[in-house]
Structure formats: C-alpha cells, structure tokens
Amino acid sequence: MNNMEAAVMVDRMRYESISKKEDFTFETVLSSEYKLNILRKAKEEGYFIKCVFVLTIDPQINIARIESRVASGGHNVDSGKVIERYYKSINNIKELLDICDIVHVYDNTKIPERIIRKHKEELSIYPNEYWSEQDILGLME
C-alpha cells in the first residue's frame, strides 16, 4: 500500500468512526480546509472535540527541526511546503477555536508553553516572550 492509498483508507476510517459515533483521534498540520471539514462533521454529529495545536513563532524553526530529523534518518519536507503550510495552519486557528470544545494552543519555539486555552465558552490567553497579547488575539481573528 502506498502513502496515497493509506491516506484514503484512513480518511474512510475517520468518517466511518463518525457515523458509528466511535471515539477517534488524528494528527494533522491543519493546513487544509479538508481537515477542518472532518472536525465540522464530527461536531455536527454531536462529538465533544478536544484539540492540541502546537506552533512556533517562525517557520524557519520548523525547517531547522526537519533538517535535524533528516540528519537522524527521518523524512524530509520541502522548505517551501513548510512555509506555505505554516501560514495556512496559523490562519486556521480561529476556525479551530470555533469548532472545538476544548483547545490548547502551545508555542513550541523553545520549551512548550500554552498561549491559548479554550474550555467550552471560557477563553484564556497567556502571552510569552514570543507571542504578545496582541499577537495571540491576532491568531483568533
């Protein structure tokens, strides 16, 4: 089975889980509307959705980490794709907050620090040395 076939199979399994009201989890860069649609569908079907979103202050950090992973034998991702996906995923945070019941957004620029916490209708922000209050509010617009 190649990567594309595996991706199609896993997508089918997600939607089957939703239709059967089974618990499931998935990991994504969240750079496409498609993954948001999975969450929307789950929400429409009555799921209580918990999400952890991890970001950095700059896509160059992500690129450096990928280069380190490649040096250790891991897989590569084109730098252009990393940058493109970085900004697409950042732009999806507001929608994620709207869909999900619980959301924790962590800045992983150095050590993981939570910068946004949503618990049902309660929303809290936690500025740090990389993300000011204004920056965080900008993520939610």
pLDDT, tens only, 4-29:
899 899 999 999 999 999 999 999 99
Q: How far apart are CA 134 and CA 95, in angstroms?
A: 18
Residue 77: φ, ψ to 5°: -135, 130
What pLDDT score was predicted for residue 3?
85
* 3-state class (DSSP) for residue 1: coil
Reported as a single tens digit per residue, the pLDDT across 68-90 is: 999 999 999 999 999 999 999 99
Count other Cβ atoms within 10 Å, centred on residue 99: 20
Reported as a single tens digit per residue, the pLDDT across 48-58 is: 999 999 999 99
* Span 88-102, average pLDDT: 98
Q: Show the tokens assigned to 92.
A: 């999806």
Domain boundaries, the chain: 28-139
Total-model pTM: 0.93
Q: How far apart are CA 82 and CA 66, in angstroms?
A: 9
Q: Show the tokens assigned to 89.
A: 């995923």
* Span 104-110, average pLDDT: 98
Q: How far apart are CA 58 and CA 110, in angstroms?
A: 11
